[in-house]
Structure 1
Amino acid sequence: MAKKQAWVHSSHPRSPSYLFFSVVALSFLSLIALLIYKMDNFASQTKTIVGHNLEPTPWHIFPRKNFTEESRHTRDYKIIQCSYLTCRYAASDGGAQPSEEKRRGLATPRSPPKCPNFFKFIYRDLEPWFKTRISLDRITQAKEHASFRIVIVQGKLFVDLYYACVQSRLMFTLWGILQLLKKYGGMVPDVDIMFDCMDKPSIDRNRIENGSLPLPLFRYCTTEAHLDIPFPDWSFWGWSEVNIQPWDEQFKGIKRGSQAQTWAKKISRAYWKGNPDVESPIRLDLMQCNDSNLWGTEIIRQNWTEEAKAGYEHSKLSNQCNHRYKIYAEGYAWSVSLKYILSCASLPLLISPQYEDFFSRGLVPKLNYWPVSSTNLCRSIKFAVDWGNANPSQAEAIGKRAQQLMESISMDRVYDYMFHLISQYAKLQDFKPVPPSSAQQVCEESLLCFADERQKELLKKSAVTAVSPTPPCTLIRRPNPKFFTIWAEQKQKIIDNVKEMENRTNAAR
């Protein structure tokens, strides 16, 4: 009997119990849950170029971006992959780089052209820092006005994010800088830039007069009363939200559209189409001028929501050059529409612009645009239309010169402006730029990783395909500071002369 019991007992040899496997499985699942929690927590603290975990700028409120169409885990994976892993992989997978000689454009006999005359304004924009220079402390203080910080070190781009930018402005702005680094590889200096992607300038020029050192801040526009440093806006590389193509392609389409009819066959009215509901008093006043018989105008309210539903068929810029006169009215601040209006070869009617972007310094009244007064706006537009219809050859010539100005501002010149502005700015910094610990590296692959299909299409269209065979255009030497005062006085004198002509005509009626 004892032997039988022993045999029965020995039929269950000692081995790990089911409890052990359960503990292991539970531990494994707990580890996975912990990793998911950690990843979710890490992703929820990561700020991205498309606006994850970023609040809108407090100085220009707009609706917070909504990312609910993605599941939480999909979003977390995308944030970590695009923000931290993509550029590392891309950097290790890069091909052979061109030689330093080739990068600097010295392997070709072609010499660069001279930069356009308005490039001189780079010196005026940076003039406040010529004596004081720019310290790291001043850069840091500018953060209170900035949406993000750009640091370029050894040709690599790093971005420190503070606030979200409306729509896709940040993505396309960074894309443009990446294309600059590719186009002029090895030439762009190390630099540290605070940038605000919203519209209205904020650095008051009076700070200098009051003895305060100015804060350096880049944005898309400035005014005479501000020190913000204008930089080419995002729409040069495309604008996915309103179906605008990259600049070179868009300009060619507009120019073709402008040639569809001769000047004599164009509609002899002043045309404007846009959105007046952007806190723009000028645009609201302009809506009151919509009377073709009384004022010689055709004013159309743009509904972007309906246009998006219709596939933007009624908003093609190439189809909006059928009028002899095109009106430019500033929006909340400046408007990207200026370059498209100037490209039509119609006589541009600019309503007392307050804001300047980088290329609008090349505008001269009666040479490549006609100044319209915001006072008695409708009458001022009518006077311009009547003058143009009475002087068709002169009006046509002004319109053609406006188009020629925009044709001269190819993407090559846009990149040249970016290069010279950044280079001159970098010379003024008295410290060695170092990316802050919170900054992320950004590369083409990481931008494309975050981009939706429409954005990818535009980004790839606007990509620089090769290192430039020539250096940037040759920057004109720094002019005498009086040059800018004289320039402004001469422009104002022409505007005053036009106003006098207008007043005499109205008095005689």
Structure 2
Amino acid sequence: MAQQLKPAWGVSSRFPTIIRFRSLVVIACSLALVLFASFFVIDFKNKNYQLQLQLHQLFRNNHFFEKPCYAPSHSATDLLQDGTWQHEVPAKWQFSASRDANNYGLSSEQCLAAFPKLFTEIDKSVKLRKETKNPITFDEINARKTLGQGMGRAMIYQGELYIIDYGDMTYTATRAKSTLHSLHRALVSMTDNESLPSIEFHFSADDFVWDSLKAEGGPVWSYSKRNTADIDEGDIDDNNIWLMPDFGYWAWPEVNIAPYREARRRIATVDAQFDDFQTKKKQLVWRGAMNTGAELREQLLEATRNKYWASVRAVDWTNEQSIADNMLPIEDHCRYMFLAHTEGRSFSGRGKYLLNCRSVFISHTLLWHEAHHAALLSSGPDANYVEVKRDFSDLEQKIEFLLDHPDVAERIANNSVKTFRDRYLTPAAEACYWRYLIRKWGEVCDFEPRLYDGKTNKLRGQPYEEWLLSAH
């Protein structure tokens, strides 16, 4: 009988194999449990993080975040001024009008380097708040329960513009929209606009802020303001007025002035026809309405009546014949050697257009300041305009001097171009001013606005892109 064959493996050889197999199963199960636990922990952390975000948003929607008004010791603009801001300006960078005039997106450092005199009026407002230890509070903003003619309430939240409230704009509709368009343009032209502080503010599209509206409390952004010394006794001072660029930086259709960049192009085109400054018309030109600033303007008409060196006429904007006979396109003012400027109800929106001309800008002593006021200089070799008395009593004397000294007149005109057309009244300067205003306003606020209403959880303001498509 043949011997029974035994399997190649017996009990003694099979046992280690079984142990090894079971060990592999245990290890595999353990790894699976570890992986499952890991995924569970990650998922838990994600859900926990999302919960934290929701709680954070809920908290944010129901509170105003209080923040130290003057801490840290260096504000954002201080850092800009001492050169330690997050961006660096190339050492050799200099503002060039031919390259940079229409650049709405200059960096903060470039803005400060290019326009050192532009921000003086803002700095005055900031200084007053700091010296009096009087930060802007939400209660101060919210104290204004109703909006007067031409007023609106808005906020900038993480670089986005929202319209909270919009008053009666019967006489100021295009002005208000032009101003908001310009502000929005300055925001979207900034690549890192989320770095701007979130702020809330009121603005006025009227020529100035009435005492009754100032009395309701709270600071207001406006086109013009006066020094306290120039305010009549008994009137409320303008210390709560913060200057903003006027509506003309967008457009001024009511008086047939083109959008600002187009108006500047037309002005430069006319000026290009006068390589020889002395070939311009040797007259003082003025066209304007008499229903605003009537006393000043009557004095100008009287001082220039029947003068060979004057082309001064009133325009009645309600009379088609008067418009046809007397209206002069803004760019054609630049054909004249001398340009008269008068204030109206407050500032005159015509001023910045005239300052774009290569002509001699002649103005009475100004009471109303605009955003670019600090760049005006009426004496010395760098003078960029000529100042006369408010009653124009010395106008003839100064005109005759300039006619007798054409080199002085040409130097002043060239200084005006250098200072204003090629620098402080460029679209680039306007955008820089808006962003500096936002930074400085945020610097002296002790609150950040809430985006959502705490009770309804709805947006407190209408996103600007949506607002501009709705009827107002």
- TM-score for both structures, normalised by structure 2: 0.65
Tell me the alpha carbon deviations over residues 254-285 of structure 1, each in whole angstroms, 9 at most, x when there is no partner: 12212323322222221111112124321122
2:115 corresponds to: 116
Q: Are residues 1:447 and 2:468 paired?
A: yes
The 1-side partners of 2:181 and 2:325 are apart by 24
Task: Give distance in 2, aligned partners of 1:287 and 1:436.
Answer: 55
Matching residue of 2:201: 193
CA separation in 2, counterparts of 1:306 and 1:105? 56
Deviations 1:350-388 (A, max 9, x none): 11211011012210113011111123x2x4221121010
Contact kept? 2:364, 2:390, Cα under 8 Å:
yes
> Which residue number corresponds to residue 283 of structure 2?
269
In 2, Cα distance between equivalents of 1:215 and 1:440? 19
Specify whether residues 144 and 393 from structure 1 end up closer, same or farther in structure 2 by C-alpha distance, changes over 3 A only.
Answer: farther
Match of 1:220 among 219, 223, 228: 223
2:433 maps to which of 417, 430, 444: 417
Query: Is the counterpart of residue 169 in structure 1 residue 175 in structure 2?
Result: yes
Distance 1:264 1:244 in 2: 27
Distance 1:125 1:247 in 2: 27
Whole-angstrom distance in 2 between the partners of 1:313 and 1:277: 16
Q: How many residues align?
A: 339
Letter of the 1:183 partner, please give it: S
The 1:445–1:138 alpha-carbon spacing in structure 2 relative to 1, beyond 3 Å, is: closer
Q: 2:444 maps to which residue?
A: 428
Q: 2:157 aligns with which of 125, 150, 153?
A: 153
Pairwise CA RMSD of aligned residues?
Answer: 3.2
**Counterpart mapping for 1:359-374 below 5 A:** 359-366=372-379, 367-374=383-390
Tell me the secondary structure at the aligned position of residue 348 of structure 2.
coil
Q: 1:310 to 1:132 in 2, by over 3 A?
A: closer
Out of 397, 408, 419, the position equivalent to 1:405 is 419
2:399 alignment counterpart: 385
Shift of 1:106: 5.8
Q: 1:19-39 CA distances to partner (integer Å, 9 max, x unpaired)?
A: xxxxxxxxxxxxxxxxxxxxx
Shift of the 320–124 alpha-carbon distance from structure 1 to 2, 3 Å rule, reads same
User: Does the 8 Å contact 2:334/2:357 carry over to 1?
Assistant: yes
Q: Partner amino acid for 1:139?
A: I
Q: CA-to-partner distance for each residue in 1:39-96, whole Å, 9 max, x for gaps?
A: xxxxxxxxxxxxxxxxxxxxxxxxxxxxxxxxxxxxxxxxxxxxxxxxxxxxxxxxxx
What secondary structure does 1:282 align onto?
A: helix
Amino-acid identity (%): 21
- Aligned 1:175-186 pairs, distance under 5 A: 175-184=181-190, 185-186=193-194
Give the corresponding residue for 2:345: 332
Query: What residue in structure 2 maps to residue 258 of structure 1?
Result: 271
The one of 141, 144, 149 equivalent to 2:143 is 141
1:447 & 1:282 partners in 2: Cα distance?
Answer: 38
SS in 1 for 2:182: helix
Structure 1: where are the runs of 5+ without partners?
A: 1-103, 452-509
TM-score, normalised with respect to structure 1: 0.60
How far apart, CA to CA, are the structure 1 residues paired with 2:452 and 2:289?
40
Alpha-carbon distance in structure 2 between the residues aligned to 1:280 and 1:125: 31
In the alignment, the residues of structure 2 paired with residue 291 and residue 311 of structure 1 have an alpha-carbon distance, to the nearest angstrom, of 21
What corresponds to 2:233 in structure 1? none
How far 1:435 sits from its partner (Å)?
5.2
1:430: Cα distance to partner?
0.7
Aligned equivalents of 1:299 and 1:246: distance in 2? Answer: 25
Following superposition, the deviation at residue 313 of structure 1 comes to: 11
**1:389-433 Cα distance to aligned partner (Å, 9 max, x none):** 111111111112112222213111111111011111111111121
Match of 1:230 among 219, 223, 243: 243
Q: Deviations over 1:97-141 (max 9, x none)?
A: xxxxxxx99699777431422223321122221122111111123
Task: Give the distance between the partners of 2:244 and 2:321, measured in 1 at CA.
Answer: 28
What's the CA shift for 1:316? 2.1
Write the letter of the residue equivalent to 1:281: E
Q: Hey, what's the Cα distance between the residues in 1 that align with 2:283 and 2:306? A: 7
**Secondary structure of residue in 1 paired with 2:161:** strand
Matched residue SS, 2:122: helix
1:343 aligns with 2:343: no
Q: Runs of 5+ in structure 2 lacking a partner?
A: 1-84, 94-106, 229-237, 454-458
**Closer, same or farther: CA 406–430 of 1 in aligned 2, 3 Å:** same
Distance 2:401 2:429 in 1: 34
In 2, the alpha carbon distance for the partners of 1:145 and 1:356 equals 24
Q: What is the distance in 2 between the residues matched to 1:116 and 1:279?
A: 31
Distance 1:107 1:345, change over 3 A: closer
Equivalent residues of 1:117, 1:362 under 8 A apart: no
Secondary structure of 1:163's partner?
Answer: coil
Contact 1:279 1:331 in 2 (8 A): yes
Distance 2:399 2:173 in 1: 36
Corresponding position of 2:316: 303
Question: 2: distance between equivalents of 1:425 and 1:414?
Answer: 17
Mapped partners of 1:309, 1:297: distance in 2: 19
Whole-angstrom distance in 2 between the partners of 1:200 and 1:327: 22
Cα distance in 1 for residues equivalent to 2:147 and 2:390: 30
Kept in 2: contact 1:232–1:414 (CA 8 A): yes
Tell me if the contact between 1:169 and 1:197 (Cα under 8 Å) persists in the aligned partners.
yes
Report the CA distance between 1:241 and its aligned residue. 2.2
Q: SS of the residue aligned with 1:268?
A: strand
